[in-house]
Amino acid sequence: MLSYQITEYGKPLEALERATPVPEGDEVLLKITASGVCHSDLHLWEGYFDLGGGRKADITRLRDLPFTLGHEIVGEVEAVGPNVADVKPGDRRIAYPWIGCGDCAICARGDEHLCAKPAQLGVHVDGGYASHVTVPHSRYLYDYGDVSTELACTYACSGITAFGALNKVRELATGNQLLIVGAGGVGFAGLMIAQAMMDTEIVVADIDEAKLEAAKAAGAAHVINPTADGARKQVMAMTGGGAAAVVDFVGSGPSTQFGMSCLAANGEMVVVGLFGGSFDMSVAMFPLKNISLRGSITGSPAEMAELMALVKSGKVKPLPVAARGMGEAQQTLEDLQAGRIVGRVVLVP
Ligand SMILES: [Zn+2]
Ligand SMILES: [Zn+2]
């Protein structure tokens, strides 16, 4: 098999050839047909997360080198271990990458994505910038129906991340107004998925007018630029007194502050973006308005199943994706680093 691997953090990926693994026990070997490039791959490749204010979080201890990035993986089953009965060679599947230890209380209650001893594909164990990947169990594989392979792979990260956040405010937002802050990659996926999963009136906020126009064309009832004069007042008017739920796909100080200020009484805000920063808010507002603020990261295997059922039903409008050859993995990371990429890039072997 061929893999594009990190041999030294921040240095160009190296194309390395090695023997294709033979699946054992419950394992499934996928021949990769598409592998998305996520913004977090950039941090994994660099070896640190920038926490702002000159602080960096070292993330090099989470894996051994050489290492293969890529957590948005779609492929065709090539071989299965002796215990595998529910998939067979030739089946096309998307891999759920947020795999836990499978042994702890968190995994037992179905929240593998929150496990403290994770084995996530492309984060802790070798992932998708390769011709093949080993998935530890067929329960992490999902059918994706007639969706294109290039589009399908994005549901493993941006899709499930948006779904997991929206799912937390689904009840509150149904029959009410939902404010989506940030219409970039994941936020735009969120706009598509929200329309498919619940009956809600969606307001989209972004500081980029082109993104607001795209959001309007993609089904947002209202759009607002939070830097405009009286933006909060306008949202209050659009929503009849505030949004029942807010999902912040930016996660910066100003975006979170804006979102909180637009909540109706009894509302809930979910932060899913990782931009970073901080904001000031009077603590008394939490009880006075009976509101809450929480975070969300990716989603559970059960949520992945629900998302893929929605996708297969044809209710989720497709996102634009650009396909590149797998050999352009390094160039793609550099383009991401330089901010030259708009939308999702998917590598195809
Ligand atoms: Zn990702
Ligand atoms: Zn666990």
Give the Å distance between the CA of 121 and the centre of ligand 2.
15
40 Cα to the center of ligand 1, angstroms: 5
Task: Say what the pLDDT of residue 292 is.
Answer: 98
Top pLDDT among 229 and 339 is at: 229
Q: Supply the pLDDT for residue 7.
A: 97
Residue 233 CA, ligand 1 centroid: distance in Å: 34
Instruction: Annotate 1-32 with b (16+ C-beta within 10 A) or e (fewer).
Output: bbbbbbeeeeeebeeeeeeeeebeebbbbbbb
Query: pLDDT, tens digit, for every residue of 106-132?
Result: 999 999 999 999 999 999 999 999 999
Looking at the CA of 104, name the nearest ligand: 2
Predicted pLDDT at 185: 87
- Tell me, which fold does domain 2-157+299-348 have in CATH? Quinone Oxidoreductase; Chain A, domain 1 (3.90.180)
What are the tens digits of pLDDT across the range 128-156? 999 999 999 999 999 999 999 999 999 99
Q: What is the pLDDT of residue 52?
A: 65
Q: How confident is the model at residue 42 (pLDDT cuts 50, 70, 90)?
A: very high
Rounded to the nearest 5 degrees, what angle is found at the Cα of 139, between the Cα atoms of 110 and 349? 120
| Domain regions of the chain by residue span | 2-157+299-348, 160-295
The full DSSP string for 303-346 is HHHHHHHHHHTT-SPPPPEEEEEGGGHHHHHHHHHTT---SEEE
Residue 346 CA to ligand 1 center (angstroms) comes to 12
> 99 CA to middle of ligand 2, Å?
8
**Quick one: pLDDT at residue 56?**
85
What phi and psi values does residue 193 have, to the nearest 5 degrees? Answer: -70, -40
Residue 315 CA to ligand 2 centre (angstroms) = 33
Closest by Cα among 154, 171, 141 to 268? 171
Under the banding of pLDDT at 50, 70 and 90, the label for residue 162 is: very high
CA of 178: how far to CAs of 2, 25, 144, in Å? 45, 45, 28
Cα-to-centroid distance, 124 and ligand 2 (Å): 14
Residue-level pLDDT at 324:
96
**Angle, alpha carbons 14-6-18 (nearest 5°):** 55
CATH for the stretch 160-295: 3.40.50.720
Separation of CA 66 and ligand 1 centre (Å): 20
CA of 107 to the centre of ligand 2 (A): 4
Query: What distance in angstroms lies between residue 246's CA and the mean position of ligand 1's atoms?
Result: 22
Cα(25) to centroid of ligand 2, in Å? 19
pLDDT class of 57 with cuts at 50, 70, 90: confident
For residue 100, how far is its CA from the centre of ligand 1 (angstroms)? Answer: 16
Query: Would you say 73 and 131 are in contact if contact means Cβ atoms under 8 Å apart?
Result: no
The ligand whose atoms approach the alpha carbon of 72 most closely is 1
Parallel, antiparallel, or unpaired for β 14-17 and 92-95? unpaired
Neighbours of 86 (CB within 10 A): 10
CA of 35 to the centre of ligand 2 (A): 25
- Indicate which ligand has the atom closest to the C-alpha of 186: 1
Q: Of the ligands numbered here, which is closest to the C-alpha atom of 155?
A: 1
Helix (H) or strand (E) holding 30: strand 28-37
Compute the distance from residue 344 Cα to the ligand 1 centre, in Å: 11
pLDDT (0 to 100) of residue 50: 73
Mean pLDDT for the chain overall: 95
| CA 192 to ligand 2 centroid distance, Å | 31
CA of 165 to the centre of ligand 2 (A): 21
> Percentage of the chain surpassing pLDDT 70?
99
Sequence letter at residue 252 = S
Residues 6+ apart with CB under 8 A from 237: none
Question: What SS3 state is found at 204?
Answer: strand
Q: How far is the C-alpha of 330 from the C-alpha of 346, rounded, in Å?
A: 13
Which pLDDT score, from 0 to 100, does residue 130 have? 98
Q: Which residues of 284-301 are buried (b: 16+ CB within 10 A; e: fewer)?
A: eeeeeeebebeebebbbb
Which residue, chain included where needed, has tokens 């779609």? 74
Question: pLDDT digits over 17-26, tens only?
Answer: 999 999 999 9
CA 128 – ligand 1 centroid, Å? 12
Residue 344 contacts residue 321 (beta carbons within 8 Å): yes
Average pLDDT over residues 72-80: 98
How, if at all, do strands 28-37 and 132-135 pair? Answer: antiparallel
- Edge-to-edge strand list for the sheet holding 263-271: 222-224, 201-205, 177-181, 243-248, 263-271, 292-295
Let me know: does 347 contact 34? Beta carbons within 8 Å: yes
d(CA 250, CA 33): 30
Cα-to-centroid distance, 123 and ligand 2 (Å): 15
Distance 298 CA to ligand 1 centre (A): 9
Concatenating the DSSP letter of every residue in 122-191 gives TTTB--SSBSEEEES-GGGEE--TTS-HHHHGGGGTHHHHHHHHHHHTHHHHTTSEEEEE--SHHHHHHH
The number of beta carbons lying within 10 Å of the beta carbon of residue 269 is 23
287-344 pLDDT, tens digit each: 999 999 999 999 999 999 999 999 999 999 998 899 999 999 999 999 988 878 777 8
